[in-house]
Structure 1
Amino acid sequence: MSVSIFPGDREGRRRTWVWAVPFLLVIIFFAGQILAIVPAIESGMIAEDEIETYPNILYMLTVLFGSVLVLLGLWVKFFEGRGLASMGMILESQAKNKLGWGYGVGLVMATASVVGIWAFGGYSVERPQNFALVSYAPICFLALGFLVQSSVEEIMFRGWMLSRVSERFGLWAGILSNATLFTLMHVDFSGDEAFSLIDFSIFISMTMLFSIFLSFLAIRQKSVWGACAWHAAWNWSFITWFGLPTTGIALDITPLWVDLVMDESQANWVTGGAAGPENSAITMVVLLIGCALLYRSVRKTLTA
C-alpha cells in the first residue's frame, strides 16, 4: 500500500521511477563528491591523504555534502517539479522544537553508548582533563560541519528515498530499502583493516538499526528535522566530547569533557575497534532500544 509521509509527496509533474531511486541517489552522491573534491585536490588546496584531518575535514563536511544537496535539489525541482517539503524539509513553527529534541536525544544516546562500553572495560581515561587546553574553536566548527553533513544524508535517505519508495510500495519498503542502501554506502571496501565475521555482522546490524531508528523518527515527526539533528549530535559527540572516532574518522583535538582511549586487550565487539563506538555491540543494543521505543509511537502508521 502506498503511503504519503510528507506534505507535497503527491505533488509534481512527474515521479522518479522507484527502481531508479537508489541508483540515482548513488550517482548524485558521487557526482557531488567529484564536484567538491577534485578541484580542491587539483588546485593543491587539500592534499589527497589529508582530507580527513582538521581543518580539511570541514571542507568535506560542508562543501562536499552541500554539493550533493544542491544536485538532489535540482533533480527534485526541475525533474519531479516538487518542493523541499516533499523531502521532509517542512517549514513549520515546530521545526526548532524538533531540531532541539533530536539533538538532545542524539547526545543522550551517544553518551549512553560510550558509558556502556566504558562500563564493560572497553575505554579508559587517556589523560586528566585540562579545560584550558580544550579545542573550543574546532569543536564549534565541527558542530556546524556535522550538522550540514548529517542533514544532507538524512534528506537523501530519510527524506527523499524513504518518501519516494513509500509512496509506491508502502512504509516498510521505504524503511528497509533506504536502510539497506545507507548500510552498503557506509561499507569501507577499500579499507586495509580486516574485519572478522562478528565485527562485520555487528557493523551491518548497527547501521541497519541506525537507519531504521531515523526512519521511525522522520515518520513520527512527519519531517526530517529531528533526524538531521539527532544524526549530527551523534557524529559530533563521539569526537568532540570523548576523543573517539566517528565512523572511523579520528581527529587530533582535545575533547570537551574527557579524552578516552580504547583498551586494545578488549574484543572489538565491545570497543568497536578502530571504527569507534558505532561498531560496538553495546551501541547496537542502545539503537535497538531506541527503535523499540519509537516503534510504539509509529506502530499504527506502519500497520495502516
Structure 2
Amino acid sequence: MTQTIFTDEPAKGWIAPSIAAPFICIFLVAISSLPLDFWFESLGLLDAKGTPQGPLGFCIFLASFISIGLAVFAWLRWIEKRSLASAGLRGDLRFRRFLIGLAIGLAMMGATVATIAIAGGYRTGDLFPAFASPAALGWIGLLLASFTAQASVEEFVFRGWLFSTVMRRWNAVAAFVLTSAAFTFLHFSPGTPPLVLVMTFAFSIFACAWAQRSNSIWGVMGWHTGWNWLGGVGFDVPITGLDTGLPALIVRMVPSGPVWLNGGAEGPEGSVFTLALLIAGSLILLWPRQQGESDGSGAAPSHHRT
C-alpha cells in the first residue's frame, strides 16, 4: 500500500521507482546548475570551490537556483505529467502561510544564535553595524529576495517534488529517508564535519515533517527563507559555511569556545543546539493529530491508495 501527499491527482506520465527518484533529482540539479557555476566562476563571482565572492556573487549564486526549479518543473510537467499542486504548491492563504513560516524561521534562527551566545559559544560585538552603511542595507534587502528564490526552489525540489514522488511509489517512511539522503548528499563537500551532515539530514526531516503536517510547502518555504536569511545577514557569521561579507544587521557575534557549540566555520548550523532544535521540531510536527484537527489547507494531509 502506498500513499499520496498534497493531492490525489493521478500522474498521467511516468513516475520513477522510489530508489531511482533521488538519483534523478541529483542529475537534474547537476545539469541545471553546473554550467551556470562554471560561467559564474569565469566572471569571478564564484571561486574555484564554488564559494560566492562578495555580496553580488552571493545574490547571483542564490538567484541561480531558479534554473534548478525550472528543470524539476519541466520533469514534473512533461515526464510525470502532474500539476504544481501535486508537488505541494496548493492550499488557501498561500502568501499568509509563507509569511507565518518566514516569521517562525526568523524566530528559530534568532533563538538558536541567542542560545549559543548564552552558553558561551559567541561573544557579542557591535550592535546594528549594517545601519552605518546604506550600501550594506541595500545588499541585505537584495539577499532577502535571493534567499527567497534559493529556499523556495529547494523546498519545491525536495519537499515538494521528490518527497511526493517517492511517497507515490512507496510510503511516507521511504519518502522521508530518501528525500533527506538526497538533500544531504547535495550539501556534502570534502571535509564536511560529521555533525554538519547529521544536522543537514535532520534539517530535511524537519522540513518534510512540516510539508506533511501542513499538506503544502508554502509554510516551509517561508521558514527556510527566514532561517537562511537571518543566519546569513543577522550576526556576521557564516550560513552553511558561506559568508556574505556584510556587516551584521542585528549584532556582530564573535565565536568563542568549542566548535561543536558555535559551529565554527559552518556557522550556527554546525552547533549541537541547532541539531537539538531540529529534532525537537520534527518530533512536534510528527506527533499524531488529535481527531478533527485541521491542517489549515482544507484537505487531509495524505491519502492511502492501493
Kept in 2, the 8 Å contact 1:89–1:225? The answer is yes
In structure 2, what is the equivalent of residue 254 of structure 1?
247
Could you tell me how far apart the structure 1 residues matched to 2:217 and 2:208 are? 9
SS at match of 2:3: coil
In structure 1, what is the equivalent of residue 258 of structure 2?
267
**Which 5+ residue runs of structure 1 have no aligned equivalent?**
none
Code of the residue aligned with 1:127 in structure 2: it is D
Q: Alpha-carbon deviations, 1:258-303, whole Å to 9, x = none?
A: 111111xx11110111101001001111112211221225599699
Could you tell me how far apart the structure 1 residues matched to 2:271 and 2:41 are? 34
Asked if residue 74 in structure 1 is aligned to residue 65 in structure 2, the reply is no
SS at match of 1:154: helix
- After TM superposition, give the deviation of residue 40 of structure 1 in Å: 3.5
Could you tell me how far apart the structure 1 residues matched to 2:286 and 2:247 are? 37
In structure 2, what is the equivalent of residue 18 of structure 1?
18
Q: CA 1:224/1:45 → structure 2, altered by over 3 Å: closer, same or farther?
A: same
Code of the residue aligned with 1:21 in structure 2: it is A
Q: CA 1:56/1:259 → structure 2, altered by over 3 Å: closer, same or farther?
A: same
Could you tell me how far apart the structure 1 residues matched to 2:32 and 2:99 are? 29
In structure 1, what is the equivalent of residue 119 of structure 2?
120
Could you tell me how far apart the structure 2 residues matched to 1:105 and 1:249 are? 22
In structure 2, what is the equivalent of residue 27 of structure 1?
27
Asked if residue 178 in structure 1 is aligned to residue 148 in structure 2, the reply is no
Could you tell me how far apart the structure 2 residues matched to 1:206 and 1:101 are? 23
Asked if residue 243 in structure 1 is aligned to residue 243 in structure 2, the reply is no
- After TM superposition, give the deviation of residue 127 of structure 1 in Å: 2.8
Q: Alpha-carbon deviations, 1:150-194, whole Å to 9, x = none?
A: 1111111111111111112111110111112211221212x4xxx
Q: Percent identity?
A: 29
In structure 2, what is the equivalent of residue 99 of structure 1?
98
SS at match of 1:121: coil
Could you tell me how far apart the structure 2 residues matched to 1:84 and 1:278 are? 30
1:171-250 matched pairs, under 5 angstroms:
171-189=172-190, 191=191, 199-200=193-194, 202-250=195-243
Q: Alpha-carbon deviations, 1:72-106, whole Å to 9, x = none?
A: 1111111111121121112x432112101111111
- After TM superposition, give the deviation of residue 14 of structure 1 in Å: 2.4
- After TM superposition, give the deviation of residue 45 of structure 1 in Å: 6.2
- After TM superposition, give the deviation of residue 53 of structure 1 in Å: 2.5
Q: CA 1:297/1:148 → structure 2, altered by over 3 Å: closer, same or farther?
A: farther
In structure 1, what is the equivalent of residue 295 of structure 2?
none
Q: CA 1:8/1:73 → structure 2, altered by over 3 Å: closer, same or farther?
A: farther
In structure 2, what is the equivalent of residue 89 of structure 1?
89
In structure 2, what is the equivalent of residue 161 of structure 1?
162
SS at match of 2:189: coil
Could you tell me how far apart the structure 2 residues matched to 1:45 and 1:267 are? 34
**Which 5+ residue runs of structure 2 have no aligned equivalent?**
292-300
Kept in 2, the 8 Å contact 1:241–1:255? The answer is yes
Give the superposed CA RMSD: 2.2
Number of aligned residues: 291
Asked if residue 285 in structure 1 is aligned to residue 276 in structure 2, the reply is yes
In structure 1, what is the equivalent of residue 142 of structure 2?
141
Q: Alpha-carbon deviations, 1:198-220, whole Å to 9, x = none?
A: x51x2233222211111111011
Kept in 2, the 8 Å contact 1:157–1:182? The answer is yes
Select the structure that is richer in helix.
1
Code of the residue aligned with 2:271 in structure 1: it is S
Q: CA 1:111/1:9 → structure 2, altered by over 3 Å: closer, same or farther?
A: farther
- After TM superposition, give the deviation of residue 146 of structure 1 in Å: 0.7
Q: CA 1:255/1:213 → structure 2, altered by over 3 Å: closer, same or farther?
A: same
Which is further off, 204-213 or 65-74? 204-213
SS at match of 1:48: coil
Could you tell me how far apart the structure 2 residues matched to 1:207 and 1:303 are? 28
Could you tell me how far apart the structure 1 residues matched to 2:202 and 2:217 are? 17
Kept in 1, the 8 Å contact 2:17–2:166? The answer is no
Q: CA 1:129/1:146 → structure 2, altered by over 3 Å: closer, same or farther?
A: closer
Q: Which has the higher contact order (CA 8 A, sep 6+)?
A: 2
Code of the residue aligned with 2:98 in structure 1: it is L
Code of the residue aligned with 1:124 in structure 2: it is R
Could you tell me how far apart the structure 2 residues matched to 1:9 and 1:302 are? 12
